[in-house]
DNA sequence: TCCAGCGTTGCGTCTTCCGT
DNA sequence: ACGGAAGACGCAACGCTGGA
């Protein structure tokens, strides 16, 4: 049984990282010499900002996501690829796609092979204390994200904007990107101010979904959003639900289109497309004409 | 070796909202 | 009316990486 994001995975992150990083690179050190992942909400002492954990957590979450998606697509002859490069659709080497589902397993990708793009925006969610003298159980969870000062993952407006910006950049890069769904994967809820925005991004065809793959981000059954009205944001329950969601994503091809045409031009296009027999054919002709 | 660009979280300031 | 809380946003700070 494979699990979505939870405390054990965060504990794994610290255990793994300890193989090559020092405690000071992973934890803040408080005035009374405690090692903490985040500053507690009411911490009164002098604070600093940890930088050394950034790339570690980035790499860990991207690899973890790649492995998770690989589990789902491998029996379909597909591959989850981490750090995919595709210059044609604005994924250059210095800003690759975090994870893609592709027909091939190589870093260098053709747009035609990419079936979905995942932008991973995850961080350490809970607060943790590292106890230097406890070799059996060195990492203790000391609270959820409401108890510390950090704003993890998609709760940060900056992270949301970055994800949205990158998605738009892909959308406007090339017509070949039009059929590729873009999913933002997080491990936190999103703030209220983005509820309607994610729904609009979904209807506009820019970002298909913001998924949180952390089923229980708050302790003691804390209230947190399950989904927005149009499911632009959705919190997944378990691995099987992720599997079903990805399979349904892959089962139907979609098209992103946008234009600034007059009503008359649009009417003409609709009229011409309507001459076709099936809905699929009508759609195909409509898209062909609108991009001319 | 240097530098640009990406990724990460924290902080200051401004605005909005809400309870008193 | 006022003060505090919370959010948005721009920025600072710093590590890592890859290319010139």
Nearest nt by C1' to A21 Cα: C15
**Confidence bin at A258 (pLDDT 50/70/90):** low
Whether residue A28 is predicted with pLDDT greater than 60 in this model: the reply is yes
In order of A5, A40, A89, A195, the CA distances from A210 in angstroms are 15, 28, 20, 10
Within residues 40-79 of protein chain A, the ones with CB less than 7 A from nucleic strand B are: 47, 49-51, 53-55, 57-58, 61
pLDDT (0 to 100) of residue A158: 67
Residues A94, A96, A98, A99, CA torsion sign: negative
| pTM, full prediction | 0.83
Q: Give the distance, in angstroms, between the CA of residue A131 and the centroid of all CA atoms in the same chain.
A: 32
What are the extents of the domains in chain A? 7-251, 259-292
Q: What are the beta bridge partners of residue A227?
A: A234
Q: Look up the CATH number of domain A7-251.
A: 3.40.91
**Does residue A158 lie within 7 Å of nucleic acid chain C, judged by its CB?**
yes
- Is-contact A207 A186, C-beta < 8 A? no
The answer to whether the beta carbon of residue A261 comes closer than 7 angstroms to any atom of strand C is no
Look at strands A139-143 and A127-130 and give their pairing. antiparallel
pLDDT digits (tens, 9 = 90+) for A30-53: 767 777 787 776 665 556 666 667
Is-contact A84 A64, C-beta < 8 A? no
CA atom of A278 to C1′ atom of C1, Å: 66
Nearest Cα to Cα of residue A102 among A213, A209, A241, A250: A250
């Amino acid at each position: 049984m494979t699990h979505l994001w939870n405390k054990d995975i965060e504990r794994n992150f610290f255990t793994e990282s300890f193989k090559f990083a020092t405690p000071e690179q992973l934890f803040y050190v408080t005035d009374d010499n405690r090692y903490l992942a985040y500053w507690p909400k009411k911490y009164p002492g002098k604070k600093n900002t940890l930088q050394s954990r950034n790339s570690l957590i980035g790499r860990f979450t991207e690899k973890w996501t790649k492995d998770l998606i690989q589990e789902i697509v491998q029996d379909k002859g597909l591959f989850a690829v981490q750090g995919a490069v595709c210059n044609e659709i604005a994924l250059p080497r210095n800003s690759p796609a975090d994870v893609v589902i592709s027909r091939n397993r190589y870093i260098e990708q053709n747009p035609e092979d990419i079936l979905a793009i995942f932008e991973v925006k995850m961080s350490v969610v809970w607060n943790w204390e590292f106890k230097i003298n406890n070799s059996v159980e060195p990492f203790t969870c000391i609270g959820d994200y409401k108890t510390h000062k950090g704003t993890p993952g998609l709760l940060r407006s900056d992270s949301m904007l970055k994800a949205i910006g990158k998605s738009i950049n892909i959308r406007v890069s090339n017509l070949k990107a039009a059929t590729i769904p873009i999913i933002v994967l997080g491990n936190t809820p999103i703030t209220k101010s983005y509820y309607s925005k994610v729904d609009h991004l979904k209807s506009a065809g820019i970002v298909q979904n913001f998924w949180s793959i952390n089923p229980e981000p708050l302790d003691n059954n804390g209230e947190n959003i399950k989904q927005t009205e149009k499911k632009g944001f959705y919190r997944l329950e378990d691995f099987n639900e992720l599997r079903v969601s990805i399979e349904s994503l892959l089962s139907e091809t979609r098209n992103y289109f946008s234009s600034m045409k007059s009503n008359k031009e649009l009417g003409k296009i609709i009229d011409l497309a309507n001459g076709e027999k099936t809905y699929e054919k009508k759609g195909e002709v409509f898209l062909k004409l609108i991009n001319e």
